[in-house]
Amino acid sequence: DIQMTQSPSSLSASVGDRITITCRASQGISSWLAWYQQKPEKAPKSLIYGASNLQSGVPSRFSGSGSGTDFTLTISSLQPEDFATYYCQQYNSYPLTFGGGTKVEIK
């Protein structure tokens, strides 16, 4: 199975900050990576697929990059509604696997 490791596991930031979350795969997955946002007590929401492609309706302050084993999710200017937990997910091979999550909290 491909292991997905996210860092940091949590971070504190202020509105307007630029933040970056890292996701590392235990083996190469090309660009077969997605990012999801989950708010407390809510279902996850798809943000990015193919490592860098924004889902329809996702604000342009979100961006994704990377290929192979190392990936990043960047929020260019954090907004109040962005405080949530973020998960990466590989779909290079079964079983599909998720990272452990990164909780973004208000400083």
Partner 1 sequence: EVQLVESGGGLVQPGGSLRLSCAASGFTFSNYWMTWVRQAPGKGLEWVANIKQDGSEKYYVDSVKGRFTISRDNAKNSVFLQMNSLRAEDTAVYYCARGRVTLDPWGQGTLVTVSS
CA distance 3 to 16: 32
* Residue span 7-46 as binding mask against partner 1, x where in contact by CB under 8 A, dash where not: -------------------------x-x-x-x---xxxxx
DSSP letters for 43-77: --EEEEETTTEEPTT--TTEEEEEETTEEEEEESS
**Residue 95 interacting with partner 1 (CB under 8 A):** yes
**Residue 71 interacting with partner 1 (CB under 8 A):** no
**Residue 89 interacting with partner 1 (CB under 8 A):** yes
CA distance 4 to 74: 17
Q: Which residues bind partner 1 (CB under 8 A)?
A: 32, 34, 36, 38, 42-46, 49-50, 55, 87, 89, 91, 94-101
